[in-house]
Amino acid sequence: MGYNVGDVVHYYIIKVYEVHGVDPVEILHWKDLRWDLRLKYDWYFTYRAALLQVKYPKYRVDCKWGHEEAKEKALKQLLINKERAKRGKITEIQNKIQKAAANWCNLFPIEDDIIYKKAILKLERLKQELAELQNQLK
């Protein structure tokens, strides 16, 4: 099953092993990262891995990152961010509809325009999705 990058949290792990060792000597772990933060701070994770390689020159440094389902606090924050984004999109569309109605100068009423009808349908769909998100947050 596919996933949406906004529905999961990401982690980054750096482990230092002896050359033929099984147990790690040192571990650095970051979790509950949003995708944009994971990408933004990729340089930092690489830097920290390099520092560990300098600290342990004859050891093996493994870097691993991935994603997992959001739980508890991270899940709530994801839902809050989605709600905030929906509210912003709803406001944007409402403003565009109001502006289009105010500047309408064709012979037929704006309610007969196909693009206007699609915008109204999209606005209703977004409002319904916002209501579902608010129910999930409760």
Q: Do 65 and 10 share a domain, yes or no?
A: yes
String of b and e for 110-128 (b: at least 16 CB within 10 Å)? beeeeebeebeeebeebee
Last residue of a domain, one of 15, 36, 70: 70
Strand residue runs (E) in 18-128: 24-33, 60-69
Q: Who contacts 37 (Cβ-Cβ below 8 Å, separation ≥6)?
A: 10
pLDDT tens-digit profile, the chain (138 residues)? 456 766 788 999 999 999 888 899 999 999 988 888 999 999 999 999 999 999 999 999 999 999 888 777 777 888 888 899 999 999 999 999 999 888 888 888 888 888 899 999 999 999 999 999 888 877
* Contact of 32 with 84, CB cutoff 8 Å: no
In the three-class reduction of DSSP (H, G, I as helix; E, B as strand; rest coil), residue 88 is classed as helix
Q: Of 16, 40, 19, which Cα lies nearest the Cα of 29?
A: 16
Q: Do 54 and 85 share a domain, yes or no?
A: no
Q: Do 85 and 49 share a domain, yes or no?
A: no
Q: Do 15 and 63 share a domain, yes or no?
A: yes
What is the C-alpha separation between 85 and 83, in angstroms, rounded? 5
What is the C-alpha separation between 44 and 57, in angstroms, rounded? 19
Instruction: Please give the residue range of the domain that contains residue 107.
Output: 73-137
Look at residue 108 in the predicted model and tell me its pLDDT: 84
Q: Do 59 and 114 share a domain, yes or no?
A: no
Integer Rg of the chain from CA: 24
Look at residue 1 in the predicted model and tell me its pLDDT: 44
Look at residue 119 in the predicted model and tell me its pLDDT: 92
Which amino acid is present at 9?
V
Look at residue 74 in the predicted model and tell me its pLDDT: 76
Q: Residue 52: in which H helix or E strand, if any?
A: helix 42-55
